[in-house]
């Protein structure tokens, strides 16, 4: 008999779905007759099918939910309440088609809710599409904004010369005795595994967490972090959402996020439950554009500091104050059309395209005077100009006619030596003769 839940919560990652299900169970444990089922990928089907029986609330990831629906283990036509958690992450992970299918399967619902720490315009467009009345009755409830300062989270930026320099600064910080537990974010799964292995060799209690690990191993490592058995979790952005461990005091951005808005989710892993937190970012010179994007998205300037004895040898750019408008693609600043690279107007200063003064008597609509012979874009004397014509000499002096090339001497022939065998194309006989023009 297929399960017929009345409420459905859809989450982008397994860890987030498990965290939501755990909180939901704590919330309804005093209410009789309410059952909560958690359905995620990477777990045995039969175990999850058994949990679905008589479930009133189902917390699931889109892939496994649709698999069970297609196998007739769950019916969604009686879902009254649909909740989409971290909707922007859903689209980033490619769940757009799955969300459209879930939207159709739950067409009889009475209420739809979307939650996210960052609401980009594309998410608002998604909300308009899934509402029954074309979004005319959509209500947006905003508690906080990404641009609002996290007063309980101190953010620090360190410039590094190279990867080894970043490793040394990370090692320096991880030996701080004020660290209770920490999350180190890496950019790739390979970097995540390598960094966790290096930290283990240095004597740290560290484990890796990323999407290539089995779900059982991911669950055990998260449980070890929550129970205090592991001090350092090295993770990719799969852990940037859904990990709610109040004892995490430090977050390290060893590898910068691909999107500026993910920075907000990363640092949000610390400073939870009203506690203070510390978010530290390591960046190389090639990462300066990502740093500018993060500052533009959060509209906050990251404070750059140095560690005595580990100062960078290169001179790094000072962070610029955020300005202008910001789009939803990684928070990159969109400068106005009349501004140059540094934000200054093209008509200011020098070097601009239209910085020449209008010539007196020039017709309206033209910025430059008409050309004259021997004026305009004449070239300055260069090499080969003194003593001979060079490139500046007339074209008809000593040059071949336009329609043909001048005969060349053999390139490697010695003075006085025979020119040797001339080059003849092997298909010369096959080529038709070109008529003379």
Compute mean pLDDT per 10 residues along the chain, 437 residues long, and list them: 92 89 88 89 88 92 93 93 86 82 90 80 75 68 67 91 94 93 94 95 93 87 91 85 84 93 88 87 93 90 92 73 44 41 40 43 45 45 45 45 46 46 48 54
Chain centroid offset of residue 58 CA = 31
Beta-strand relationship, 181-185 and 206-209: unpaired
pLDDT of residue 318: 61
How does 28-39 read in b/e, with b if 16+ C-beta sit within 10 Å?
A: eeeeeebbbbbb
**Strands in 236-300 per DSSP E:** 248-253, 277-284
Beginning with the edge strand found earlier in the chain, give each strand of the sheet holding 81-85 in spatial order: 36-39, 57-60, 7-10, 81-85, 111-115
Q: Which of 256, 261, 260, 258 is nearest to 282 (CA)?
A: 256
pLDDT of residue 371: 46
Q: Exposed (0-12), middle (13-18) or buried (19+): which is 156, by Cβ within 10 Å?
A: middle
d(CA 55, CA 69): 14
d(CA 234, CA 336): 40
- Predicted TM-score (pTM) above 0.85: no
pLDDT of residue 61: 93
pLDDT of residue 95: 83
d(CA 94, CA 12): 10
Q: Residue 304 forms beta bridges with which residues?
A: 157
- Both tokens of 285, joined, read 């010179």
Chain centroid offset of residue 254 CA = 14
pLDDT of residue 96: 83
Which run of H or E residues covers position 39? strand 36-39
Q: In the chain, what are the domains? A: 7-130 (3.40.50.300), 153-334 (3.40.50.300)
58: helix, strand or coil: strand
d(CA 378, CA 32): 90
DSSP code at position 187: S
pLDDT of residue 122: 74
- Both tokens of 186, joined, read 């890496």
d(CA 352, CA 367): 13
Q: Which of 347, 115, 160 is nearest to 255 (CA)?
A: 160
pLDDT of residue 433: 55
48: helix, strand or coil: helix
pLDDT of residue 251: 96
d(CA 16, CA 20): 6
Which run of H or E residues covers position 17? helix 14-28
Question: Do 10 and 60 touch, CB atoms closer than 8 A?
Answer: yes
Q: Which of 302, 306, 303 is nearest to 315 (CA)?
A: 306
Beta-strand relationship, 325-326 and 333-334: antiparallel
């Amino acid at each position: 008999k297929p399960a017929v839940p009345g409420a459905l919560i859809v989450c982008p990652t397994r860890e987030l779905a498990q965290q939501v299900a755990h909180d939901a169970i704590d919330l309804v444990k005093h209410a009789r007759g309410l059952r909560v089922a958690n359905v995620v990928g990477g777990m045995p089907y039969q175990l999850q099918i058994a949990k679905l029986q008589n479930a009133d609330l189902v917390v699931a990831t889109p892939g496994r939910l649709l698999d069970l629906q297609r196998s007739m283990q769950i019916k969604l036509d009686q879902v009254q309440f649909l909740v989409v958690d971290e909707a922007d992450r859903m689209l980033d992970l490619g769940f757009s088609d799955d969300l459209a299918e879930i939207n159709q399967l739950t067409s009889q619902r009475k209420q739809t809710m979307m939650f996210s720490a960052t609401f980009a315009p594309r998410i608002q467009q998604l909300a308009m599409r899934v509402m029954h009345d074309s979004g005319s009755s959509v209500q947006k409830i905003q508690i906080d904004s990404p641009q609002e300062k996290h007063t309980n989270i101190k953010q620090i930026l360190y410039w590094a010369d190279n990867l080894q320099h970043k490793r040394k600064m990370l090692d320096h910080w991880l030996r701080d005795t004020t660290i209770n537990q920490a999350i180190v974010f890496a950019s790739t799964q390979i970097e995540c595994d390598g960094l966790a292995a290096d930290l283990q060799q240095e004597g740290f209690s560290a484990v890796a967490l990323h999407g290539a690990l089995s779900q059982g191993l991911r669950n055990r490592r998260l449980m070890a972090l929550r129970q205090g058995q592991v001090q350092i979790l090295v993770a990719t952005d799969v852990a940037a959402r859904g990990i709610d461990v109040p004892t995490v005091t430090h977050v390290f951005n060893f590898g910068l996020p691909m999107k500026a808005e993910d920075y907000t989710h990363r640092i949000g892993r610390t400073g939870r439950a009203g506690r203070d937190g510390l978010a530290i970012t390591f960046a190389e010179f090639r990462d300066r554009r990502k740093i500018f994007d993060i500052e533009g998205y959060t509209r906050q300037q990251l404070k750059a500091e140095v560690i005595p004895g580990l100062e960078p040898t290169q001179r790094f750019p000072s962070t610029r104050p955020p300005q202008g408008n910001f789009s939803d693609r990684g928070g990159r600043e969109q400068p106005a059309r009349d501004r140059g690279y540094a934000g200054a107007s093209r008509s200011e200063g020098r070097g601009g395209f239209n910085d020449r003064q209008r010539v007196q008597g020039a017709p309206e609509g033209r910025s430059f005077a008409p050309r004259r012979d021997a004026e305009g874009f004449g070239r300055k004397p260069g090499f080969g100009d003194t003593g001979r014509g060079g490139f500046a000499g007339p074209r008809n002096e000593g040059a071949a006619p336009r329609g043909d090339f001048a005969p060349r001497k053999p390139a490697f022939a010695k003075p006085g030596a025979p020119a040797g065998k001339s080059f003849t194309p092997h298909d010369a006989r096959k080529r038709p003769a070109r008529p003379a023009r």
